[in-house]
Each structure stands twice: as C-alpha cells, then as structure tokens.
Amino acid sequence: MLAVAQTWTVSFAAPLALVLASVGCTRDEPLPLPRAPEPEPVEAPDPYEQSPSRFGVVPLHAGFSPDPRVVSGTAVGEVAAGSIHRKCRGWISETPDYLLDADTAFFQLYVLARSRSDVLLVVRKPDGSVLCNDNRPGTNNPMIRSDFPIGTTQVWVGVKAEGASASYRLGFSEVKWRSSSIPLPDVD
C-alpha cells in the first residue's frame, strides 16, 4: 500500500510543479483568488412616486381581514373636486388622502367615509376612471360600490366648502355594511 501512495505522489507532483511554474507561482507565493465584481446598488422604482398620498397606502387583496379595513384622516378643502372630474362637487386636498393598493381584482368593493361633518368621496381607479359620491340616500356618509382592478387607486375624502376641514374614518369592505360599522372620529 505504501508503494501505491508513493507512486501517486510522484506521478502527480511533476505535473503540478509544471503548472505552478507556468503561471509564475512558486511554492512560497499563494495563488491569487479571483474576486467577483461587487454588485452596484440599484434603487427600486417607487410605484407611488407620481402619486403621493397624505396618509399612506392601504394594501388589500381578496378575502382581506379584518373586514371592514378602517383608516382615519382629516379632509381639507384645497382644490375643487371638479378638477378631478367635472361631476364631482366639493373640495379635496391636492394629493390623495390614501392609495388603495390592490394586488387582486375586486368584483365588488365598498368604500365608505364616516364623519361628524358632511364629507364626500372621490376615487380614481388605475385606468383613470373617476367615481364621486356626496351622500348616500338618507345619510351624510358617502359610499362608493364598484369593481376595482389590480393596481393603485387614489382615494380622496373631501369637504363641502373651500378651506374647511373634517376628521373622518374611511372603510373598505367586500361585504355590504352600514355606515355604523365604522366608528365616528373622536373630534372634528
């Protein structure tokens, strides 16, 4: 067995020495290890860069929980709602209050605002279509029921008068519910 081990050492030692000598290395110098190039940092594009929101993003997917999903904010009357669509009445902020980020399409989604003041809803879907609602029959709380495609929908809660403001709660639901499902804001 010792004879086989010595033969193996001798038979591989000569070719290894030739390889090392041909690349200019000696026994005392370590072989340089190749370095992988460092990746350059790449910034991911901001999908909301052209459409900021005042209060944030509401991510939703089919079957979301809890239902209704409720967020809050303060409506301000900075620009005429008619600037979004000629049929919209009232006043809204320059930028959307919220962005509804749907990663699944909704056949029927309810968007409802509740406030101690008389508020309105303006919604612009990813395809550019606009929906407005001032009041639901018999209440001061606006509601929009519609299909919503995958993508980012802009949502404004507005007020009746220029320069006015109102605290509100904004709810999203896949099932039909009444405005009393959403608590009123503490103050206006």
80 class by beta-carbon count within 10 Å (0-12 exposed, 13-18 middle, 19+ buried)? middle
Report the alpha-carbon distance of residue 187 to residue 167 in Å, rounded: 7
Is residue 28 located within the same domain as residue 61? Answer: no
Task: Count up the domains in the chain and report the number.
Answer: 2
Q: Does one domain contain both 27 and 112? A: no
C-alpha separations of 137 from 52, 79, 87, 142 in Å: 32, 26, 18, 9
**Beta-bridge partner residues of 70:** 171
Token code pair at residue 125: 């879907």
Q: Judge whether 91 lies within some domain.
A: yes
**Exposed, middle or buried, 20 (CB in 10 Å: 0-12/13-18/19+)?**
middle
> Do 21 and 65 reside in the same domain of the chain?
no
66 lies in the same domain as 25 = no
Asked whether residue 81 falls in the same domain as residue 125, the answer is yes
Flag whether 47 is in a domain: no
**In-domain check, residue 145:** yes
The pTM of the full predicted model, rounded to 2 decimals, is 0.69
Query: 61 lies in a domain?
Result: yes
| Domain at 104, CATH number | 2.60.120.380
Shared domain check, 168 and 83:
yes
Same structural domain, 16 and 62: no
Name which of 12-16, 30-34, 117-121 the model is least confident about. Answer: 12-16
Instruction: Report yes or no: 89 and 81 within 8 Å, Cβ to Cβ.
Output: yes
Q: What is the mean pLDDT of residues 121-146?
A: 88
By CB atoms closer than 10 A (0-12, 13-18, 19+), residue 145 is: middle
Query: Is 99 a domain residue?
Result: yes
Q: Which domain holds residue 21?
A: 1-32
pLDDT digits (tens, 9 = 90+) for 27-79: 566 666 666 666 565 555 544 455 589 999 999 999 999 989 999 999 999 99
